[in-house]
Amino acid sequence: MTADQVMEVMKEAMMVAFEIAGPLLIVSIVVGLIVAIFQAATQIHEQTLTFVPKLLVIALVLLALGSWMFKVMDEFVVELFAIMASL
């Protein structure tokens, strides 16, 4: 396997990681920002007030997008095994 092929596989692995983690991170940031604005407006600074909504929203996003995330990861792993088989 040449260095170019290794770099291509690593680039694709990074893109798959970003594609899978992106929606979760974006939703978590948005919920965190909304909760932070609420905390600043009400002057309630409770740590669990930030954690619980993020946990619930991430669980909902995983329920909604879990099959898509699995499909993306499955396609990548199948491609990796095809590359390994061709070596």
Q: What residues make up the domain containing 75?
A: 45-86
Does residue 32 fall inside a structural domain? no
What per-residue confidence (pLDDT) applies to 12? 96
Distance (Å, whole) CA 83 – CA 67: 24
**pTM of the predicted protein model:** 0.81
Domain total in the chain? 1
Question: What's the pLDDT tens digit per position in 35-78?
Answer: 999 998 998 888 788 899 999 999 999 999 999 999 999 999 99
27-36 pLDDT, tens digit per residue, is 999 999 999 9
In a domain, 60, yes or no: yes
Position 70 in a domain: yes
Q: Is residue 40 part of a domain?
A: no
- Identify which of 18, 85, 68 has the alpha carbon closest to the alpha carbon of residue 10: 18
Residue 73 covered by a domain: yes
Q: Is residue 16 part of a domain?
A: no
